Amino acid sequence: MKQGLVIKSTGSWYQVKGPDHQVLDCKIRGKFRLKGITTTNPLAVGDHVDYDIDPKTGQGVITHIHERRNYIIRKSINLSKQAHILAANVDEAFLIITLASPKTFPAFIDRFLVSAQAYRIPVTLIFNKTDLYTDDLLSEMHQLMALYNGIGYRCHAVSAKTGQGISTLKGWLTNKVSVISGHSGVGKSTLINTLEPHLQLKTLEISSYHESGKHTTTFPEMHPLTDGGYIIDTPGIKGFGVVDMDKTEIAHYFPEMFAVLQNCRFYNCTHHHEPGCAVKEALELGHISPSRYRSYLGLLTNDDDEKYRQLDY
């Protein structure tokens, strides 16, 4: 029996990197079930597994999956309760954003942060394309950095084009399993290719289960970094979607709201209309930013759901 890391998953086959760094094609023996959720795939990249090598075929057989530290799922679009595990045991997520074109808006950032918080994955916000920022945009960036730093999120400015800030980012990625995410067009591929020129990222393989195109599934892949560690690039992790959460739970994933909400008069306060709400009081005192509160309300009322579904991110 050997232990390995799943670095690629195609649904029925898994590439497992073993202790001596060789990569073996493996299948699963038996059924793996996660508690509480139904998933369309039992294993994902980032999973640590035990496997045997079948002496007859030379192929690997996965016999056991180790407990996950965390995992990212995507709910199916068709609103069934099915979920698809995109990646497991992620150390960190890097959300690539830009204030140049196509501009990333706070509602998108906050939605991502809420999901990551729920998954217990730390996030770094990477402001890309800074070579294009005017003075106004630079000052907007510094304001946003102050806001998000204040809440506890690391922020960093880079330009994939000029290379500014790239070596720091590279240091953070070393020996970690990192997810790189962000809207289409913000510069993810350019950034990754600047970090790791040998990767020359191709677009992810996309397989359609149905000709209709209603149900497409992507298979994320972990790309090894030369200095150690992996990145999971994520055209596939489009809907770093908000996990199912109760209305009263959403504020728990806004750290600055979580810090005060135990002072709300009602234990089941939604911080929307209730009297004696500590979150609204903090908002009025300027301790919680209006844009964060707006994002919170958007999630609470879910009114931006459709808008987000149509976005390519």
Cβ atoms of 48 and 3 closer than 8 Å: yes
**What does each C-alpha distance from 106 to 144, 151, 205, 294 come to in angstroms?**
9, 14, 30, 9
At residue 187, the 3 state secondary structure works out as coil
Residue 173 contact, options Zn ion, ligand GDP, none, Cβ 5-8 Å cut-off depending on partner type:
none
Residue 184: Cβ within 10 Å count:
12
Q: Give the residue, chosen from 18, 185, 224, 255, that forms a contact with ligand GDP under the rule CB under 6 A.
A: 185
Write out the binding residues for ligand GDP, residues 111-150 only, by CB under 6 A.
128-129, 131-132
What letter represents residue 113's amino acid? L
Q: Does 168 bind ligand GDP (CB under 6 A)?
A: no
Q: Does 218 bind ligand GDP (CB under 6 A)?
A: no
Question: By C-beta, is 100 or 250 nearer to ligand GDP?
Answer: 100
Residue 225 contact, options Zn ion, ligand GDP, none, Cβ 5-8 Å cut-off depending on partner type:
none
Q: Give the residue, chosen from 39, 76, 82, 190, that forms a contact with ligand GDP under the rule CB under 6 A.
A: 190
Q: Does 298 bind ligand GDP (CB under 6 A)?
A: no
Question: By C-beta, is 231 or 277 nearer to Zn ion?
Answer: 277
Rounded Cα distance between 53 and 90, Å, is 27
Quote the strand ranges of the chain, DSSP E. 2-9, 14-17, 23-28, 48-53, 60-65, 71-75, 83-88, 92-98, 123-128, 154-157, 177-181, 206-208, 216-218, 222-224, 230-233
Does a cis peptide bond (omega within 30 degrees of 0) precede residue 224? Answer: no
- The secondary structure of 119-169 as a DSSP string is TT--EEEEEE-GGG--HHHHHHHHHHHHHHHHHT-EEEE--TTT-TTHHHH
Write out the binding residues for Zn ion, residues 279-298 only, by CB under 5 A.
279
Cβ atoms of 122 and 95 closer than 8 Å: no
Question: By C-beta, is 231 or 261 nearer to Zn ion?
Answer: 261
Closest contact distance (angstroms) between CB of 115 and Zn ion is 22
- Among 285, 308, 286, 284, smallest CA distance to 295 is for 308
Question: By C-beta, is 129 or 292 nearer to ligand GDP?
Answer: 129
Question: By C-beta, is 150 or 163 nearer to ligand GDP?
Answer: 163
Question: By C-beta, is 90 or 96 nearer to ligand GDP?
Answer: 96
Helix 290-301 and helix 135-151, axial crossing angle in degrees, nearest 10: 70
Question: By C-beta, is 98 or 270 nearer to ligand GDP?
Answer: 98
Q: Does 264 bind Zn ion (CB under 5 A)?
A: yes
Q: Does 189 bind ligand GDP (CB under 6 A)?
A: yes
Q: What is the separation, in whole angstroms, between the first and last Cα of the chain?
A: 40
Residue 15 contact, options Zn ion, ligand GDP, none, Cβ 5-8 Å cut-off depending on partner type:
none
Residue 75 contact, options ligand GDP, Zn ion, none, Cβ 5-8 Å cut-off depending on partner type:
none
- Among 83, 85, 108, 84, smallest CA distance to 95 is for 108
Q: Does 40 bind ligand GDP (CB under 6 A)?
A: no
Q: Does 277 bind Zn ion (CB under 5 A)?
A: yes
Q: Does 183 bind Zn ion (CB under 5 A)?
A: no
Q: Does 269 bind Zn ion (CB under 5 A)?
A: yes
Question: By C-beta, is 10 or 190 nearer to ligand GDP?
Answer: 190
Residues making contact with ligand GDP (CB under 6 A): 128-129, 131-132, 159-161, 182, 184-190
Residues making contact with Zn ion (CB under 5 A): 264, 269, 271, 277, 279
